[in-house]
A and B are shown apart, each in its own frame.
Chain A
Amino acid sequence: MAILVDTDTRLVVQGLTGSEGRFHGLRNKAYGTNVVAGVTPGKGGQDVEGIPVFDSVAAAVREAGANTALVFVPAPFAADAIYEAVDSGVGTVVCITEGVPAHEMLRIHAYIAGRDVVLVGPNCPGVLSPGKANVGIIPAEIFREGSVGLVSRSGTLTYQIGHELTQLGLGNSTIVGVGGDPIVGTSFVDILALFEADPQTEQVVLVGEIGGDEEEKAGAFIEDEMTKSVVAYIAGFTAPPGKTMGHAGAIVSGSAGTAQAKKEALEARGIRVGTTPTETAGLVAELIRA
């Protein structure tokens, strides 16, 4: 099992002929992901190292059987690409692009609500199910297959924690980067629900950061709905209010969205929160040994 991406994934890369799309699309393919198509309007009929390129996502679905889309197009065109993927009937859309305007995401979030599609991102590293499929830019070499689900708003911090888990001899079912923007397609709670239902996943690590209240919502969900153990880490304890810390969504607004408040909300529900990435990985190891 695993969640979102696996051996049944048939991937279409939107923007495959661009430099980022090509680099990561080919890396995903080399990892073993079934990359069935690329889409670049006007370049239909070409190929990228044997991967056929189509003019539209609809053509990639119809002719190559794509069921998952990976969006690598630049920010001004990303919303269009997401809508196109959703309207073409793929079940999962992963958007890596950073810098998508927040108002676009308000509308997209409202548009996809109730539709049978999962949008991961934007401004995220993607989804990796070790040993099965890699969709996005996560460096797969540092992760092993295993039982720990990992969900995060950050890229390199996730790699850091995944790497520490690997060094402790632990592996992951799926790693999901939900993205660092104020509004993303899939929240912590959505991913936690998938992990709870996934037989391969036995424990979960949640990596949050300042801004918004998704960690608090996750805390309530974990207490009320989950049987699997969850360990958390929160970044940004020392972030000053009103400053955007790298991610558009990482901002303490007034007194709302602080790391301390998130930590307290999680701990109040019995969820252990590591003070450093290393300690967090250690807490997971304790859970497994216990």
Chain B
Amino acid sequence: MDLYEYQGKELFSRYGIPVSEGRLATTPEEAGSAAEALGGPVVVKAQVLTGGRGKAGGIKLAETPADAEERAREILGLDIRGHVVAKVWVERASEIANEYYLSLTFDRSAKRPLFMFTTQGGVDVEEVAASSPDALVRLHVHPLEGFQPWHGRRLVHDGGVTDPAERKQITAISGRLYAAFVGCEAMLCEINPLIVTTDGEVRALDSKFTVDDNALFRQPEIAAMRDAGAADPLEALAREKGVTYVKLDGDVGVLGNGAGLTMSTVDVVSFVGGRAANFCDLGGGGDAQGVVDALEVITSDSQVRAITFNIFGGITRCDEVARGILQALGQMGSELPVVVRLDGTNAEEGRRLLQAGPENVFVEATMLDGARKAVELAAAA
């Protein structure tokens, strides 16, 4: 789960990482009063779960409260890479002397948390890694050792920070960032830029914070930060119904059982010249209610012209799945063409049941044929 900048900063602040004082606003007027309360020049920042805000005009400086209100009016409602801005963060403007970069990521390959630090902040870190790899310090932390002050000393020393006061602050911030990373069960905590003000104070000017979905059951405060309005409406509906669903941009609805098989089905649809409208995983089973919920989500997408079901019956028998599909279609009354491919335990019985079903149900013997037929039907619709 990705957090907004202001949510990440709230967590930073709880762990003792300095951030600029700010207020959240959802209307231009609120932004104006936030600027009033903060006093002096402020920065109005779009809160969206995507990068590239600055270039898209989502971050603006305002000298006065009236100015802040105007800037918020421009930013609210802006479409940034498909994300419409509904909230802005108004924070006290900073006098910046230097911009650094500090992050902790979940390094799957090394199976350890990875610190990255560079004094070339404010830019894309992948660019720094590519153009001047020596400027980027990479340091793993052993999960059972945890953060030790030497990690912080290594980061600032190898990163080439010479000022003793800066070194001290960054060492402390790196320890606190590690505590936030572990305490919040994050997959990513990124501060870009980590600024040094003209007064020599080190602060997080931005935050990128991603928390492990599997840990949300024991991170209730973070789970409560989820903004249902930010998700794609179809994905929000799926979440509500407990359906594993990812919206894609084609016209062939895809349902499979199991993540791998479903991903493979989406690939095969594309391989035969079509485009999947979604990824939808029924899970290992395939009971009628699960099928009804999934179909409801898939058919809510007006782009869908045909649906391909790809079911491999293991412990769940194909005849049970076929009954579930027929019951679901009966309940739904959908007339969209549905192509079903069943394989595995009791597949023949399942196919026989479906062949005797409604006219918009087509039975195919293989995954490839099922995808081909659905693509053909979608094109003809």
What is A's interface to B at a CB cutoff of 8 Å? 27, 75-76, 99-103, 106-107, 109-111, 137-139, 141-142, 152-160, 163, 180-183, 207, 209-213, 217, 233, 235-240, 243-250, 254, 259, 275-278
B134 at the A/B interface (Cβ < 8 Å)? no
Please determine whether A212 and B258 come into contact, CB atoms closer than 8 angstroms.
no
Q: Mark B246-266, 1 if CB is under 8 A from A, else 0.
A: 101000000011111111101
Residue B63 at the A interface, CB < 8 A? no
Q: B246 near A163 (CB under 8 angstroms)? A: no
If A109-B111, A182-B108, A246-B279 touch, whether A153 touches B260 (CB-CB below 8 Å) is yes
Q: Is B281 an interface residue (CB 8 A)?
A: yes
Which are the 10 A-B pairs with shortest beta-carbon distances?
A: A154-B260, A246-B259, A156-B258, A157-B260, A139-B314, A101-B215, A235-B263, A156-B261, A246-B281, A106-B143
Q: Taking CB as reference atom, which chain A residue is nearest B311?
A: A156
Q: How many residues of B contact A (CB 8 A)?
A: 50
Q: Which of A102, A180, A210 contacts B187 (CB 8 A)?
A: A102
B214 with A99: CB separation less than 8 A: yes
Chain B proximity of A180: nearest CB distance (Å): 6
Given contacts A103-B185, A154-B260, A155-B260, are A254 and B246 in contact (CB under 8 A)? no
Residues of chain B within 8 A (CB-CB) of A102 are 106, 185, 187, 212, 214-215
What residues of chain A lie closer than 8 Å to B182, measured between beta carbons? 103
Given contacts A238-B248, A250-B259, 14 further A-B contacts (CB under 8 A): A139-B345, A156-B260, A157-B261, A183-B108, A183-B111, A212-B109, A237-B267, A238-B267, A243-B246, A243-B279, A245-B259, A246-B258, A276-B367, A278-B368
A141 engages B345 (CB within 8 Å): yes
Answer whether residue B380 sits at the interface, using C-beta atoms and an 8 A cutoff.
no
Q: Indicate if the CB atoms of B266 and A277 lie closer than 8 Å.
A: no
Point out which of B218, B256, B264 has the most chain A C-beta atoms below 10 A from its C-beta. B264
Smallest CB separation, B15 vs chain A (Å) = 16
8 Å CB contact of B368 from A111, A139, A183, A276:
A276
Residue pairs across A and B with Cβ atoms less than 8 A apart, 25 shown, are A76-B218, A100-B214, A110-B112, A137-B284, A138-B314, A139-B345, A142-B314, A156-B258, A156-B261, A156-B314, A180-B259, A181-B214, A182-B106, A182-B187, A212-B108, A236-B263, A236-B266, A238-B270, A239-B279, A243-B246, A245-B259, A246-B244, A246-B258, A246-B260, A276-B264
- Interface on B for A, CB 8 Å cutoff? 106, 108-109, 111-113, 126, 142-144, 182, 185, 187, 212-215, 217-218, 244, 246, 248, 256-264, 266-271, 276, 279, 281, 284, 312, 314-315, 343-345, 366-368
Inter-chain CA distance A243–B187, complex, in Å, is: 14
Q: How far does the alpha carbon of A156 sit from the alpha carbon of B281 in the complex, in Å?
A: 11
Neighbouring B residues of A110 by C-beta, 8 Å? 111-112, 142-144
- Whether the pair B113, A278 counts as a contact (CB closer than 8 A) is no
CB–CB B261/A160 < 8 A: yes
Whether B212 pairs with A103 at a CB distance below 8 angstroms is yes
Q: Are B213 and A248 in contact (CB under 8 A)?
A: yes
Residue of B108, B126, B258 touching A155 (CB-CB under 8 A):
B258
Given A103-B185, A106-B112, A276-B271, check contact A139 B344 (CB 8 Å): yes
Q: A76-B218, A139-B315, A249-B108 are in contact. Are A210 and B263 (CB under 8 A)?
A: yes
Indicate if the CB atoms of A156 and B257 lie closer than 8 Å. Answer: yes
Chain B residues, CB < 8 A from A152? 260
Q: In the assembled complex, which residues on chain A have CB atoms less than 8 Å from the CB atom of B112?
A: 106, 110
**B264, A106: Cβ atoms under 8 Å?**
no
The answer to whether B260 and A247 have CB atoms under 8 Å apart is yes
A244 to B72, CA, bound (A): 33
CA A235 to CA B345, docked complex, whole Å = 23
* Distance A248 CA – B281 CA, assembled complex (angstroms): 13
Asked if residues A137 and B315 are in contact (CB atoms below 8 Å), the reply is yes
Residue of B nearest to A182 (CB): B108
B261 to chain A, nearest CB (A): 4
> With A106-B111, A236-B263 in contact, do A163 and B276 touch (Cβ < 8 Å)?
no
Residue of B nearest to A246 (CB): B259
CA distance A210 to B319 in the complex (A): 32
Complex contact B108–A154 (CB within 8 A): no
| Chain A residues whose CB sits within 8 angstroms of the CB of B267 once the complex forms | 235-238, 259, 276
The CA of A103 and the CA of B214, in the complex, are separated in Å by: 10
- B261 pairs with A245, CB closer than 8 A: no
Most chain-A Cβ atoms within 10 A of its Cβ — which of B182, B256, B263? B263
Whole-angstrom CA separation of A248 from B143 in the bound complex: 20
